[in-house]
Chains A and B, each alone.
Chain A
Amino acid sequence: MIEGEEVSALGVRKRSIAGKEIYFDKDGFLLNANDWSEEAAEILSREMGIKTLNEKQWQVIRFIRDFYMNNGKAPLSSELKAALGWSLMELELMFPGGIRHGARLLAGLPNPQSCS
């Protein structure tokens, strides 16, 4: 548990980032995509084990976020690959937890709720 964090009985976590109260689900995904900020992404990435987000990682985060805000859904792997020009192997190993549990989380998208 992170300092200053409050956890509800349903596992919803509330914490303050950059002076703003933000709610996360039990897996650390934002409950409201509009609460996202670059500062929040930086803080969450450090907690994920990334020292500093590099330009490639920012490119991925920004693409995923823009795609979601414009389409209301996360990009498919094929859309990600076509837009960014990198293989899924590169993309997946760019973030701890890969695209679904790493990049998506940092981009402020909802939990993909996969079978795990």
Chain B
Amino acid sequence: MSEKTHFIYADNAATTFPKPHEVLAELLEIYETKGITGRGSYDFSIRAGEFVNRVRRQVCKFFGGDDPTRVAFGYNATDALNTLIQGLIEPGCHVVSSRLEHNSVLRPLHHFLQQGIISLDLVPFDSQGFIDPEDVAGAVRPETRFVILTHGSNVLGTIQPVERIGAICRELYVPLILDVTQTAGIVPIDMGKWGIGAVAFTGHKSLYGPTGIGGLVLSSNLDVRTTRFGGTGFDSTSVNHPKTYPQRLEAGTINQLGVIGLSAGLNYLERQGLDKIYAYEMSLIRQLRDGLSSLDGVRIYGAGSMERCLPLLLCNIDGMDSEQVCTILDGDFGIATRGGLHCAPLVHRDLGRSLKGGVRFSLGLLNTAEEIDRIVEAMAEISRFRKNGLRD
């Protein structure tokens, strides 16, 4: 058997892999005719530009946005979050976020906090991994510029009650920015219905696109300052960056290959159906949870019921460093997982695992029930070995 057939990939929260063949085929086919910038006046270029705008409409619809021109492409979610955070903060403003956040939110905010530009409150999460909307309400002050939260934790897999938080933010006239890195492509997202000011997304995780493409969707009642400047393909007589969207938030040539791949990924999701994807992936994670729960020495973190959760599970084997477990899973069993802190240090700190982190299994559409059985068997063997030493 080839390496590929041996390999069980359970690190889909980092990036989905492998990409579906039909996504890759569509990407290559379209790139052959639309793989140029849309800034020229020749027909090929105009068609390429029209294609990008079609993808803006597709993305806007996918996230329930209200204006496709306010879909701005970037490299990934971190890039989009930086665009939003840097374009929204004002000296002396206050920001509300949470202790569940990834460093893609924590680090930009702490950069401005340490410079004395902003003040910051991070709301806690409960023992199950959920933020209490009332904590968000209590943290908002008159000078709060925005609330920025992860929709789904990349460590615990918990989906936050953003409908309720969105309603609270709307009542308080504070924009809610959502990091939908882990949820986009797994659960429906409706900016309009939930009162979301902006979402930041990446294309390469559960949207099944390639790496290097992501972006943001901005609601029409929220404006973001330009923080990067450059060529936009129009109004070239002016040395000032345009104020119109989406160019206002895009500088330089767009990742055309990425946009095409993102579109192919969205088309793929539409054919599969989000409800079916979620049901399938959650059936796998429940199977994994049930299997691991029955093992001695395996500790599982996060929500007990797996209601409002992503297909992601964090655990540890007693007495073992998470990275050791991951190395053994890879080297002895051909299972790819992620140990350590998952770039979300405060979550682990609050779980009391700050030094060792945890073993994260994150499943995708291409995982199978047979693979879950193999993962459980592998974890059982490692746990036994830790306790009793090697069998003959």
Residues of A near any B CB (own CB < 8 A): 77-78, 80-81, 87-93, 97-101, 114-116
Contact = CB atoms under 8 A, between A and B. Distances in A.
B385 interface: yes
A100 B341 CA distance: 16
A88 B343 contact: no
Given A89-B390, A90-B390, A115-B338, A77 B331 contact: yes
B357 A116 contact: yes
Contacts of A93: 324, 385-386
A92 B357 contact: no
A100 B323 contact: yes
Interface of B: 321-324, 327-328, 330-332, 338-343, 355-357, 381-382, 385-386, 390
B340 A88 contact: no
A89 B382 CA distance: 7
Nearest to B356: A116
A78 B6 CA distance: 13
Contacts of A77: 327, 330-331
A86 to B, nearest CB: 10
Tell me the interface secondary structure of chain A in the complex. Answer: helix
B327 A92 contact: yes
A52 to B, nearest CB: 20
A59 B331 CA distance: 19
A88 B327 contact: yes
Contacts of B331: 77-78, 80-81, 87-88, 91
12 contacts: A80-B331, A81-B332, A88-B327, A88-B330, A88-B332, A89-B328, A92-B327, A100-B323, A116-B339, A116-B341, A116-B356, A116-B357
